[in-house]
Structure 1
Amino acid sequence: MRLFSFGSGQPDAEAVLAAISRSQAVIQFDVNGTILDANANFLAAMGYALDEIKGKHHSMFVEPGYAKSAEYAAFWEDLRHGKAQVAQFKRLGKGGREVWIEASYNPILDGKGKPVRVVKYATDVSAEKSRFADLAGQVQAIGKSQAVISFALDGTVLDANENFLAAMGYALDEIKGKHHSMFVESGYAKSPEYVRFWEKLRAGEYQSAQYKRIGKGGREVWIEASYNPILDLNGRPVKVVKYATDITKQVELLSNLKVLIDQNFTEVESAIDRTRSQAENAAHDAEATSSNVETVASASEELAASIAEISRSMSQSRMAADDMVDKLSTADVASQRLTQAAGAMTSIVEMIQSIAGKINLLALNATIESARAGDAGKGFAVVANEVKNLANQAARATEQITREIGGVQNASTEVVRVIEDIRNGIAAMRDYVAATAAAVEEQSAVTRDMSCNMQEASTSVTRINSGIAEISAASSQAGHAIAQTKEAAGVLQR
């Protein structure tokens, strides 16, 4: 495409224009803005074919509102008067796509110096414009959220945003042109460390830390800041920009927190020490208790065995008492029979005594009769005398028997009474044995439960002992952690 003709005597100029056309987007208008021609670069940038734009007005590339504005009319009026227009322009490509161009609108004059057409040379800077907008947006966002101040390389204040001024309590005219040292303590401003700080910045070294600064009226201000050397196109530092966040409240909070940590953790440490001491004592006591519980458990088992043996003995005693009661009942019956037999013997003795009396009476009669009979009755008298003697002996024997039977009866009566007393005593003993056996059985059950409980208690005490050991270890760990926390709090405060 040939946009310009310089005549046969200007081949170099045409070569230059051809080179420009190869590298840039070029479009040609008449002085009213009607499109005459465009090169491939322009068409590619806007997304059109030549026949889609040729003969149409330039306003197809701008927003409708701007196309109707006085500003747009003045734009073309200046071009018709031969005034070139150079800037970055926002244009609309095919489909309404936004295209940013770096362009110059150049009026072309005829031999009389009158504009006859306009040629625009443009470069698509949409990507650069987007990146710049992104960077500008980030910078604006930083400026809204952070305190920003810029310095010359010697530390002189160039500018500061509202966040910085509010944090330090100054107005801009109070700090602009003054040195950064106004924000630090006088002793630090004169130190070699402060000198090296600015030497590193002038050498392009980035600085970032928490800094103590002095605001208006000597107020202490803590900031989290980065000092950023800004480099020119040759990589040389030209100024320093500081981005900062006011952390004064956080530092004060940490300082107060450090005091609270020192106070509260000291109390906690004391409590932990007491807990550790108590845990050690408890562990010792638990160990002793465990030994005692094991001893009691062993004794309980032995007691249970002993009570079980006593229970068996009492059961046997009860059986023996029952057997004795049965035998005493038999003896009682025999004693009663003996008493009855003694009674019967008394009747027999009485009958014998009666017979002996009768014999005595017969003997008396025989004596009398023998006396009457004289000599003839002497032999009969002898017999009668013998009979009388026998009767007297029988009387004496029956008297003796009577006395013995009386003794037997008295003894039988006493035996019956004693047996009754023994039976009553054995019955009472049996009741006592039965009650004791029941109590022993109940105690045996209680002892068995106690033995089981003591075994469980021994196991529990062992677990408690283990738990106390863990508590002691945990207390030690807690004490170590508190010490580390206090140390960390001290570092934060510094």
Structure 2
Amino acid sequence: MDGTVLAANDNFLELMGYSFEEVRGKKHALFCERSHVASDEYRAFWEKLGRGEFIDGEFKRIGRNGREVWIRASYTPICDASGKVVRVIKYAMDVTETKKATAEASGKMAAVDRAQAVIEFDLAGNVLAANQIFLDLTGYGADEIVGQHHRLFCDKEFVRSGEYKRFWQRLTEGHHESGEYKRFGKDGKRIWIQASYSPIFDLNGNPFKIVKFAMDVTDTKLKAAEAESKVTAIERSQAVVEFDLKGNVLRANPLFLSALGYEADEVVDQHHRMFCDPLFATTDAYQRFWQKLGRGEVDCGIYRRVGRDGREVWIQATYNPIFDMEGKPVRVIKFATDITEQRRRNAEFEGKVQAIGRSQAVIEFDMKGNILAANPNFLDLLGYHEAELVGKHHRMFCDVSYAKSDEYRLFWDKLAAGEFHSGEYYRLGKNGRELWIQATYNPILDANGVPQKVVKFALDVTASKLKNAEFESRVSAIDRSQAVVEFDLEGHVVGVNENFQRVMGYSKRELLGQHHSLFCSVELVKTQAYRDFWIDLNKGLTQTGRFHRIGKFGRDVFIQASYNPVMDVKGQIVRIIKYAYDITDQVKLEREIRTTSSQMETVVKDLTQSIEEITSSASNATTLATQTQKNAEEGYAALANAISAIELIERSSNEISDIVKVISEIANQTNLLAFNAAIEAARAGEHGVGFSVVAGEVRKLAERSSQAAREITKLIDESVSRVGQGTARSRDARSAFERIVESVGQTSQSIHDIADCTGAQQTVSSDVVRLIHDLSRATSEAAA
């Protein structure tokens, strides 16, 4: 009873890996771990058997070469006639695999409980228990969910659906459910889980509870959505083609087809070699290329391919094996960028590098930032001599605060790690002169890929930087002064400034996501012209002009605007930006101008007609004034002749007066002689009677002549006086006629001037009518 092996059957020997000769006479301890043999438990084990006690259980034993064996065994003591234990018979079954499976299952359950959210439900869906991970995931405490129904974690609409009822019906029938589920934690927190609902069966095979194992895949779900978006973006930006593992084309996107010049039906099911040089396709290197991909290895690099028309195409590509759930490659997807032009340019790079040295500022640093060399362009740009730079640190070109910063230290750490840097940099030249440079810092690697030095190529962009600042200021000024709105290519608002909100009367929240048609009348939106408007914008055509739009509450808004397609670096239109300013008041004013212009045109036409009548009257007045002047001049001439005749009459009257005076003197002498004759006749007596009679008659005749002479003299004096008065009055009349002639001349000139002015006024009024007409037409055209 010391554990010595007396006998063993073949099954035991096979299980433990020994032959009988190797175990006969050996101790039982041969099959146990040394630590176990030395333990009190092992000693107690044999003491119990020595007392004749039966032992049954699972035991860990060690087979040949230290192999671990688990057995289900019973140790049965055999006693002699006196009841003394003389030997022990052991019956054993190999449960190593079962034990391992159980241990593995227990370990897995423990691991699952540590790694996954676990929750148990009864068949009615009520929570029985949940582990801490589930509680942390949902944000609940155990006391808040135990006894609650599963619907606590679900969307209310889903809970009311037939699908939810069928879900629990299948679980109660013993069916397993798994998948991705959207659930809700405490306070409505949205959670995506990858979960399995597993019915647990009793000994009769009937389900009695449900255990759910879940993992939080919210981040994964979001990342998957992001990845899907990225793949879509890649499809839009790169050439993509898929192959089976033999190299046959499964599909190709439009960019790939365009790059190689094929249609889809020309490449699908064709072998990849159709894109290769025929000689290369027959080489071992090409066979190894596909063997490598078949093993699931990625291949990337620059490849020479042949297009449909035999043209050479260079691509930067990655060939990426796609694996199934078992990790076996099932197909190959290739992402490629056409670098044909770049490749062609590479042939010129060596010469260009030299040209760069002649045209750009170039400086070299060691990996600590100390200057090794600088070309003349760099020296001229910074204002130094080479002797002033070599051996100095790069920080001499930097602002002191920046040179002391962690950012600057990280800059050189990245260069030391072989990372490329490029961008615009603020630097200081000699005497603190400020510069902006567009530069690249290029680590130069040795044959082992270790950075040895840094070469910097730089251009002075100080002037362009200032211009860019000015440009940004202008753009900012436009944003401050004009209404600006951005649309996607379908016409939906993606951005607005405050001016646009103010013009249209909407808030930013009301506008984002709305279609451009919101601002247009229903009639316009239904027209072909409106559809053509957006088609042209999507073609890259700018639209400018005056537009009628509808603001909030149906308010009419008139804008002067330009719709400008915005392109990315590839020349593809990505959005539409509209610059506009409000001309509603101007349009109203133009309408008023058109109305007033029409009224003014009518008034000016009437004025023109009146001026034409005045012109006609002035012409007639001119004719009459000319005739009047002529008549006045003739009257003046006639009056002058009359005055001359009167002056002759005056002279004749004076002569007659003199003659009458002579007659009067003769009559007086005759009367005197007659008187003397009467005296002589009286003296003669009777002889003088006849003579006396004659003398008396003569005297009477003389008296009558004298009387007549006196009357004639009186009349002549009156005539002379009146002729004098007539002469004076005629002279006054002549003076008046002179003034009349002068006035008539002035009147005639004034009438001529009036006629000229009315003619000029008629011309001006015609011009005014034309200008008003043009203004009316211009405002109509502007409104259109």
Report if aligned partners of 2:426, 2:437 keep a CA contact under 8 Å in 1: yes
1:179 is matched with 515
Report if aligned partners of 1:26, 1:119 keep a CA contact under 8 Å in 2: no
- Is the aligned partner of 1:66 residue 2:356? no
2:484 is matched with 148
Aligned length: 423
Report if aligned partners of 2:601, 2:769 keep a CA contact under 8 Å in 1: no
- Is the aligned partner of 1:436 residue 2:726? yes
Report if aligned partners of 1:168, 1:214 keep a CA contact under 8 Å in 2: yes
Q: CA deviation at 1:223?
A: 1.7
Report if aligned partners of 1:28, 1:37 keep a CA contact under 8 Å in 2: yes
Report if aligned partners of 2:371, 2:393 keep a CA contact under 8 Å in 1: no
Report if aligned partners of 2:402, 2:408 keep a CA contact under 8 Å in 1: no
1:314 is matched with 646
SS for the counterpart of 1:154 is coil
Q: In 1, distance between residues paired with 2:487 and 2:671?
A: 145
Greater percentage in strand: 2
Equivalent positions of 1:176-215 (< 5 A) are 176-215=512-551
- Is the aligned partner of 1:483 residue 2:779? no
2:570 is matched with 234
SS for the counterpart of 2:740 is helix
Q: CA deviation at 1:289?
A: 3.4
| Change in 2 beyond 3 A, CA 1:126/1:82 | same
Q: In 2, distance between residues paired with 1:290 and 1:77?
A: 102
Equivalent positions of 1:267-282 (< 5 A) are 267-276=603-612, 278-279=613-614, 282=615
Letter in 1 for 2:641: E
Q: In 2, distance between residues paired with 1:479 and 1:300?
A: 42
SS for the counterpart of 2:569 is coil
- Residue 351 (structure 1) aligned to one of 674, 683, 686: 683
Q: In 2, distance between residues paired with 1:286 and 1:108?
A: 103
Report if aligned partners of 2:566, 2:575 keep a CA contact under 8 Å in 1: yes
Report if aligned partners of 1:28, 1:118 keep a CA contact under 8 Å in 2: no
- Residue 122 (structure 1) aligned to one of 438, 443, 456: 456
SS for the counterpart of 2:457 is strand
SS for the counterpart of 2:392 is coil
Report if aligned partners of 1:103, 1:120 keep a CA contact under 8 Å in 2: no
Greater percentage in helix: 1
2:711 is matched with 421
Q: In 2, distance between residues paired with 1:475 and 1:42?
A: 71
SS for the counterpart of 1:322 is helix
SS for the counterpart of 2:557 is strand
Structure with the larger RCO, 1 or 2 (CA within 8 Å, 6+ apart): 1
Q: CA deviation at 1:197?
A: 0.8
* 82-91 or 255-264, which deviates more: 82-91
1:363 is matched with none
Q: In 2, distance between residues paired with 1:294 and 1:98?
A: 88
Report if aligned partners of 1:148, 1:244 keep a CA contact under 8 Å in 2: yes
- Residue 28 (structure 1) aligned to one of 342, 351, 365: 365
Q: CA deviation at 1:40?
A: 3.7
1:385 is matched with none
Q: CA deviation at 1:57?
A: 3.5
Report if aligned partners of 1:147, 1:244 keep a CA contact under 8 Å in 2: yes
1:52 is matched with 388
Equivalent positions of 1:331-480 (< 5 A) are 331-353=663-685, 395=686, 397-451=687-741, 453-454=743-744, 457-458=747-748, 460-462=750-752, 464-480=754-770
Q: CA deviation at 1:431?
A: 0.9
Deviations 1:251-285 (A, max 9, x none): 22222322332334433333334433x33xx51x3
Q: CA deviation at 1:29?
A: 4.9
Unpaired runs of 5+ residues, structure 1, are 1-17, 354-394
Letter in 2 for 1:439: R
2:437 is matched with 100
| Change in 2 beyond 3 A, CA 1:86/1:301 | closer
Q: In 1, distance between residues paired with 2:453 and 2:649?
A: 140
Q: CA deviation at 1:459?
A: 5.2
2:290 is matched with none
Q: CA deviation at 1:190?
A: 2.3
Report if aligned partners of 1:85, 1:105 keep a CA contact under 8 Å in 2: yes
Letter in 1 for 2:372: D
Q: CA deviation at 1:465?
A: 4.0
Letter in 2 for 1:193: A
2:557 is matched with 221
| Change in 2 beyond 3 A, CA 1:41/1:301 | closer
SS for the counterpart of 2:475 is helix
Q: CA deviation at 1:239?
A: 1.7
| Change in 2 beyond 3 A, CA 1:27/1:156 | same
Deviations 1:118-151 (A, max 9, x none): 9544332543756654544443343333222222
Q: In 2, distance between residues paired with 1:443 and 1:185?
A: 86
SS for the counterpart of 2:506 is coil
2:68 is matched with none
| Change in 2 beyond 3 A, CA 1:50/1:247 | same
| Change in 2 beyond 3 A, CA 1:104/1:342 | closer
Q: CA deviation at 1:61?
A: 1.0
Unpaired runs of 5+ residues, structure 2, are 1-348
* 51-60 or 127-136, which deviates more: 127-136
Q: CA deviation at 1:43?
A: 4.6
Letter in 2 for 1:450: I
Deviations 1:20-45 (A, max 9, x none): 997694543565x6x25245489556
| Change in 2 beyond 3 A, CA 1:343/1:80 | closer
Equivalent positions of 1:288-327 (< 5 A) are 288-327=620-659
* Percentage of pairs with the same residue: 23
Q: Give the root-mean-square deviation of aligned CA atoms.
A: 3.7
SS for the counterpart of 1:238 is strand
- Residue 165 (structure 1) aligned to one of 480, 501, 521: 501
Q: In 1, distance between residues paired with 2:763 and 2:415?
A: 94
Q: CA deviation at 1:47?
A: 4.8
SS for the counterpart of 1:158 is strand
Letter in 2 for 1:446: A
Q: In 2, distance between residues paired with 1:315 and 1:21?
A: 124
Q: In 2, distance between residues paired with 1:72 and 1:222?
A: 52
1:253 is matched with 589
| Change in 2 beyond 3 A, CA 1:192/1:321 | same
Q: In terms of Rg, which structure is larger?
A: 1
Q: CA deviation at 1:225?
A: 1.4
Q: In 1, distance between residues paired with 2:445 and 2:506?
A: 56
Report if aligned partners of 2:549, 2:557 keep a CA contact under 8 Å in 1: yes
Deviations 1:191-229 (A, max 9, x none): 211111111111111111111122222222222211111
| Change in 2 beyond 3 A, CA 1:453/1:260 | closer
SS for the counterpart of 1:204 is coil
Letter in 2 for 1:419: A
Q: In 1, distance between residues paired with 2:633 and 2:411?
A: 119
